[in-house]
Structure 1
Amino acid sequence: MLRTETPSPLHGALDTYAADKLVRTFVEDQYEAVRAVEAVADDLARAVDAAAPRLQAGGRLIYVGAGTSGRLGILDGVELLPTFSWPPERALGLIAGGPPALFKAVEGAEDDAEQGERDVQALAPTTNDVVIGVAASGGTPYVLGGLKAAQAAGALTLGLANNPGAPVAAAADIGIVLDTGPEVISGSTRLKAGTAQKIALNTLSSCLMVRLNKVHGNLMVDLQATNAKLRKRALSLTQRASGAPLEAAEAALAAAHGHVKLAVLMLGKQLNAADATALLAQHAGHLRAALDAP
């Protein structure tokens, strides 16, 4: 039996717990998710090193999953646009059963390996793409089909699973096994198995964005300021990164059309928007390198 399906020996009387003990049981079990990700930190680092050059060359992140795993992959990709201005056409998510499966389970869809293969083929993967297959069980046919198509196209494949010996991990170029063990509720991998996947995906994509010059120091200087809260954040980030007073930061940010990285470069090098844009492009969007340029 898969470890994620094995009944926990610790909580056989879960349905008798008082509310305070019930809550503590679920919360405490989530710590195992963090430990599982810590155990594969080296594998995640290998994935970052392998994926970053492909994305730098114009590749895409393509997430493939089913159920909770599929939804978590799509969520990770969707969040890259507002946080790092990563183009949505370069963060694509596939879930068994298609878009309706985001809101309601599509029975049997995850068992169709050929559909997974067709869905990935439809995206015309290239050697610069990075395809991430996510499956708690590690044997989901839809995900295995997607990885097969990705490898046939020469894309880099990453396989995230929650069971040792998982076929999804074995089939990928880099397998990452998040061994979270039995769930408090037997087999419910939306619990700590899903938490571990969220942490791993978040870590992977965030590290990649740092490598791709989307961060200056630890400041998210490539965010999209699309609402009042984010416009306020963009102004604060501009001031922090440049050291400029409020009025100067506001003026630069306005001239940069809300682009923090550009505003900081304008302030730091005393450039207009056009010249700062050109200088940033010369340094592949790397703000630190542009600021240090003679």
Structure 2
Amino acid sequence: MQPRNMSMSGVVDLAAVKAAQEAKAKAEQTRAEAARHGGSGAVSPADLVIDVDEASFETDVLQRSAEVPVVIDFWAEWCQPCKQLSPVLERLAVEYDGRFLLAKIDVDANQMLMQQFGIQGIPAVFAVVAGQALPLFQGAAGEDQIRQTLDQLVQVAEQRFGLTGLTVDPDAEPGGDPAQAVQEGPYDALLEAAVRALDSGDLGGAVQAYRNVLSDDPGNPEARLGLAQAELLQRVADLDPQEVRKNAAERPKDPAAQIAAADLDLVGGHVEDAFGRLIETVQRTAGDDREAVRLRLLELFEVVGAEDPRVAKARRALSRALF
């Protein structure tokens, strides 16, 4: 699987929203399940540095990045700067006590991964958070610079993705897999079916699968996010973007026209435009029309996530518009 670029500037598109919220929900679920079943979910300090190849990349990097930021050290035996950098990263991985996982990839043995990340020279250090890749630095770097970069990575992973890292126990047995102690959640099969339906374009099937989960567990965060996203994609699937934009421009007080345009705004990654459009429509309308717009805006908040600062800002603006 080819990594996707992730900007640390906070730009949100629908794919990033989905990855972030699913990662956070999965991490919270894993911790809760481990606690329920009496497991600590702890790893040994020795397990904070792992060797990864093309065969294990999906499991050891992409999947693990849903619970902890994974820092990738691309290196080679013949690379002298790598021999200086790698020990520093390994020491810091232990020192940071589970706030990131260090994955070491030998570029000579894993040319495909090197090409997928677009690496032109080594040493090169990347991170993967919630399945999304971002470059950290390339070439020689001082320890102070490395620490600053890692601090920023850890902060972004926690604030935007809810990833607080791994629990480390010096007495844990090296090589253990804490996930094995966690039993499968009661809705995992349904949620997995919903994700498969969503990824295959079966939006109706995804909507129904998420609703099935929510009928038994109304507060399930992954199902709530998935349903909001699936319903959004379902609404815009048959829209003519040009006609929607024309209608919205010609009928600024028409709730249906503005709601359709806001849906397209969000799918296109224009989060603030979508929020601003509906807040302005709330100000122009009253009664049932205003309530319909307000409810759609709340649905879009659900898609983006309460932790996003744009949601908090839009909520304040909505309150001013209403009261």
TM-score (normalised: structure 2): 0.26
Greater helix share, 1 or 2?
Answer: 2
- Name the TM-score, length of structure 1 as normaliser: 0.28
